[in-house]
Amino acid sequence: MIRKIAGIAAASVLAGGTLGGPALAQNEQFIPHLVYRTGAYAPNGIPFANGVADYYRLVNARDGGINGVTISYEECDTGYATDRGVECYERLKKKGPTGAAYFLPLSTGITFALTEKAPIDKIPIISMGYGRSESRDGAVFQWNFPLLGTYWTAADIIIQHIAKTEGGFDKLKGKKIALVYHDSPYGKEPIALLQKRAQMHGFETLLLPVTHPGVEQKATWLQIRQNRPDYVLLWGWGVMNSTAIKEAVAVAYPRGKMYGVWWSGAEPDVRPAEGGATGYHAVTLQHTAGQFKVHEDLKKYVYDKGNGNAKWEETDEILYIRGMINAMLGVESIRTAQAKFGKKPLTGEQVRWGIENLDLSAARIKDLGFEGVLKPIKVSCADHEGARTGRIQTWDGKNWKITSDWYVADDNVIAPMVKDAATKYAAEKKIAPGCLTN
């Protein structure tokens, strides 16, 4: 308990002092982070925030920053509320010698709200594995970067896997696939893709929204019991995920027929359901849990010195690793931008160029200690997503285990949808599509 209080105190100091601080030095790159360490979504928000903070700390301790430019980092707790997210953004966007390098909103709702602000303030938004699916079109969404995967990618991979399990796409005809989703912009994102795939393959979709925060799902699962879908896709976050699995147990719906998005496939989602979650699947945002090469440096430079935000045994968990990946992609984008603009603190506009030209080869990923975590990623104006691959993992009662080969989302299906949605958005917002050169 004392450790917990000490941890919170340390996090507060970190947020306001150690890496941030009111008086920022001139050779510091300021990076804000919108987090939620309290509230209904804290169980998932905390490990992600810890992963991000610890990676920045690692880069500072091991490398002396990014090419000698120290990272100055500050958290702002949004509680996953869009209004508080916008407030945090406004408070932090001009901080540091060059303003915010980029924002990680960790909320599709906040990402939606910031999408219109980012081009005005010239600060990029990295929404790794979330946000608007059509925002991968960099000609329209010049400041949005849904790196590694959008919800259309996630839904497509799950449908591909189900089809493979059934013996082919033709076997999906007549099947019923339910989507239990967080009734928010986040939860609604996969609907368009599912409807498109349903039209193509003749399966029926059953849409079941769950209102925030998702602890009342009895009626939802009674409907599942009555409609008896062949598969249930879970698009939840926070306590909604573990509640869904518990309710599935309560109505005896087989967990082996349930597939979660990557935000419904971490340890806090399955552990509260204990043995009840065994057999439950989730699509991965490429990585799963475990210790990787990067952990050796993390232990040596951060945790052995007593500077880690989490407990060491939590650093191999899925959301912690995802936080590190997100921070690493941000750092490497700044490094890419420094090659063009110089080894100094960069503006958001310069960092945007770095993200759009991010190209991490397998060799570079290995050098960074992320081998086995990530596949190569190459971002461009035409493709702000950079990669569209994933696997299926299954909870065995104690650990997540990879249970499928790699899938690549089918761009023959997704690309036209992106084009249509982005064109419509551009027309609505009176945006002249085009790539930015700087």
Residues that bind another protein (CB under 8 A): 1, 4-5, 8, 37-40, 42-43, 46, 183, 188, 207-211, 213-216, 218-220, 222-223, 225-226, 238-239, 242-243, 246, 249-252, 268, 271-272, 274, 276
CB closer to another protein, 226 vs 438: 226
The sign of the CA dihedral 293, 297, 302, 303 is positive
The sign of the CA dihedral 170, 155, 180, 273 is positive
Q: How many residues does the chain have?
A: 438
266 phi and psi, to 5 degrees? Answer: -130, 175
CB closer to another protein, 142 vs 243: 243
Q: Closest Cα partner for 10 from 49, 62, 42, 44? A: 49
For the CB of residue 236, give the shortest distance to another protein in the complex, in Å: 12
- Give 362: exposed, middle or buried? Use CB within 10 Å, 0-12, 13-18, 19+: exposed
For the CB of residue 209, give the shortest distance to another protein in the complex, in Å: 3
Q: d(Cα 73, Cα 58) in Å, to the nearest integer?
A: 12
SS3 at position 321: helix
| Helices 348-356 & 318-341 angle (0-180, nearest 10) | 110
Q: d(Cα 79, Cα 39) in Å, to the nearest integer?
A: 6
CB closer to another protein, 132 vs 352: 132
Q: d(Cα 308, Cα 287) in Å, to the nearest integer?
A: 22
CB closer to another protein, 219 vs 382: 219
For the CB of residue 299, give the shortest distance to another protein in the complex, in Å: 23
CB closer to another protein, 44 vs 60: 44
For the CB of residue 49, give the shortest distance to another protein in the complex, in Å: 11
CB closer to another protein, 215 vs 436: 215
CB closer to another protein, 268 vs 386: 268
User: What dihedral angle (degrees, nearest 10) is formed by the CA atoms of 153, 158, 163, 166?
Assistant: 170
For the CB of residue 133, give the shortest distance to another protein in the complex, in Å: 18
For the CB of residue 46, give the shortest distance to another protein in the complex, in Å: 7
For the CB of residue 243, give the shortest distance to another protein in the complex, in Å: 6
For the CB of residue 5, give the shortest distance to another protein in the complex, in Å: 7
Q: d(Cα 10, Cα 361) in Å, to the nearest integer?
A: 36
CB closer to another protein, 17 vs 275: 275
Buried b (16+ CB within 10 A) or exposed e, 200-238: ebebebbebbbebbbeebeebbebbeeeebebbbbbbbb
